[in-house]
Amino acid sequence: MDQPRVLDPEPVVRLADHVAAGGGRGLDAAKRLGPIGVIDDVQASGLRGRGGAGFTTGLKWRTVAESLSASVPPTVVVNAAEGEPGTFKDRAILRANPYRMLEGALIAASAVGADRVVVALKATFRTEVARVREAIEEVQGRGWGDGVELSVVEGPSHYLYGEETALLEVIAGRQPFPRIAPPFRHGVDEVGADTVSAAQVTMAGPANPSPAPPTLVNNVETLANVGAIVAEGPDWFRSVGTPESPGTIVCTITGRTRRHGVGEFPMGTPLRQVIEALGGGPRPGRRIVAVLSGVANPLLPESRLDTPLTYEAMEAAGAGLGSAGFIVYDDATDLVAVAAGVSRFLAVESCGQCTPCKQDGRALAERLDLLRQSAGDEHDLDVLRDKLETVADSARCYLATQHQRVVESVLALFPDQVRAHAEASAPPADVELVTAIVDLERERAVLDETHLGKQPDWSFDDTDSGQAPADRIDQRRPDPV
Ligand SMILES: Cc1cc2nc3c(=O)[nH]c(=O)nc-3n(C[C@H](O)[C@H](O)[C@H](O)COP(=O)(O)O)c2cc1C
Ligand code: SF4
């Protein structure tokens, strides 16, 4: 990799500077290529979504372009809600250069015939919201929009806001409660429908014709890649990375390392190398024992630390690439406390539309917390195993499966630590805070400590009401907290 592709080493503060460095050539090329040519190139590049699932971007664009409404143009939504614990890459990209993302989003809009682009950020991302708003003004002033309306939506802090159907719910003025399953949904315009809840928003697709247009949702980093792909061509994009995971990946390293950081690497770089480069390796006198890729994938043990960072290799290693936000744990870490921390985060953030996700999720968090304090016993382990079997039953979104996969991996990889807590032969462990990153200052991640006061009903009251957020909160009420 000659130079970074999406994460500029120094902030690009004016659109003119971006253009002087070659920015805007993607938009010019998109005009020459036309919508089908752009989609062909993006698909040929092999770019995969950087929001976590790794879905092929060109295929997603083609599906949207083939499923348009006869009466209303589609919308492009930029997922800039970044809430995965351990991840700070989208905010790093937006701070360094928001024009790349905007250029990519406008190319996407031209490819699918969208007449508006919505950038969905959290209201608490003050720096990035201001930066994106300024950049939108500049881009419009330069005529890049070309009839496409660009706007910003400031949403709530809940983890689920980043889940793409929940994101659409927030844009539509409701709570971040996920809708029912892929491949893609009707979007922001609900033509002919008097929709009041996520449950009523229907699936889009050729088998379900409707006057409502589809919506294209892509992550910030995904879109930041697009301008150069269209300008330089798919072969250029494929000149780094692997055949199945081409290009670069922007990684975040936090946890028990000498320092924390964000950086861009060719896909296929071994994880250990990234931990060394960004984190400076383990703390003095310590050795790494495991790494979490956000809270979406099983724990990766030290023996797999040389796994190349590609979707296929990380999956084969039993974990997953996710959004490449890696939380590193060393031999001084209590892994039962880590499991309890992840479990608490996911149990609290569950919206409760699916009863097992909320109820079994809460039971998992409670039992793991007892074990962490060495106040549990064999029975708690039995309950854990039972609830792990049911927590993801009938789940509407992936959060419940995440809960299942992460906790199962700790039980499987560190049975001795789990048993020692169950037998109270291990000392009680401190709480391990697993939550979103608020900022990255002087090579240290600042974690959202307020999450410790958040109740499973999503209030910050002294006690939890016992009600699920989906039962307690009016879905129609937007709630930008
Ligand atoms: C619980 C949950 C939280 C998510 N949070 C984010 C997020 O903060 N940012 C993001 O880009 N994608 C997030 N995703 C993934 C999105 O649902 C979706 O896959 C992504 O926006 C698609 O864009 P891409 O194809 O460009 O990756 C989340 C998914 C789940 C299940
Ligand atoms: S799986 Fe959990 S987080 Fe997802 S919609 Fe159901 S209850 Fe909500």
pTM score of the predicted model: 0.94
For ligand 1, the distance from its centroid to the CA atom of residue 168, given in whole angstroms, is 12
- Residue 480 resides in a domain: no
- Residue 430 resides in a domain: yes
- The rounded distance, in Å, linking the Cα atoms of 188 and 248 is 31
* CA dihedral (195, 198, 201, 202) positive or negative: negative
Predicted confidence band of residue 69 (pLDDT cuts 50, 70, 90): confident
The model's pLDDT over 209-228, given as tens digits with 9 standing for 90+, comes to: 566 889 999 999 999 999 99
Last residue of a domain, one of 216, 237, 258: 237
- Residue 463 resides in a domain: yes
Domain that holds residue 233: 15-237
Residue with tokens 């400076």, as numbered in its chain: 280
For ligand 2, the distance from its centroid to the CA atom of residue 303, given in whole angstroms, is 33
How many domains are there within the chain? Answer: 3
- Residue 3 resides in a domain: no
pLDDT reported for residue 210: 60
Does 252 share its domain with 230? no
The model's pLDDT over 138-183, given as tens digits with 9 standing for 90+, comes to: 999 999 988 999 999 999 999 999 999 999 999 999 999 999 865 4
Segment 293-300 shows an average pLDDT of 96
In the structure, which protein residues have their CB atom closer than 6 angstroms to any atom of ligand 1? 49-53, 55, 79, 81-84, 159-160, 162-164, 217-219, 222, 397-399
Does 233 share its domain with 281? no
The helix (run of H) or strand (run of E) holding residue 26 is: helix 25-45
pLDDT reported for residue 187: 57
Does 378 share its domain with 309? no
392 pocket-lining for ligand 2 (C-beta < 6 Å):
no
Q: What is the CATH number of the domain that holds 419?
A: 1.20.1440.230
Q: Amino acid letter at 253?
A: I
What distances in angstroms separate CA 227 from CA 9, 24, 42, 253, one per listed residue? 18, 7, 10, 27
User: For all residues of the chain together, what is the average pLDDT?
Assistant: 93
pLDDT reported for residue 104: 98
Tell me the DSSP string of 316-347.
Answer: HTTS--TTSEEEEEETTS-HHHHHHHHHHHHH
Segment 303-316 shows an average pLDDT of 97
Q: What is the CATH number of the domain that holds 278?
A: 3.10.20.600
Identify which ligand lies nearest to the alpha carbon of 163. 1
pLDDT of 201 over the 70 cut: no
**Nearest CA-CA partner of 322 in 303, 356, 294:** 294
Identify which ligand lies nearest to the alpha carbon of 354. 2
* CA of residue 242 relative to chain centroid, distance: 22
Pairing of strands 325-330, 288-293: antiparallel
pLDDT reported for residue 356: 97
Rounded to the nearest 10 degrees, what angle do helices 98-112 and 126-141 cross at?
A: 60
Predicted confidence band of residue 235 (pLDDT cuts 50, 70, 90): very high
* CA dihedral (76, 77, 80, 85) positive or negative: negative
- Residue 10 resides in a domain: no
Tokens of 67: 């499923």
Does 94 share its domain with 227? yes
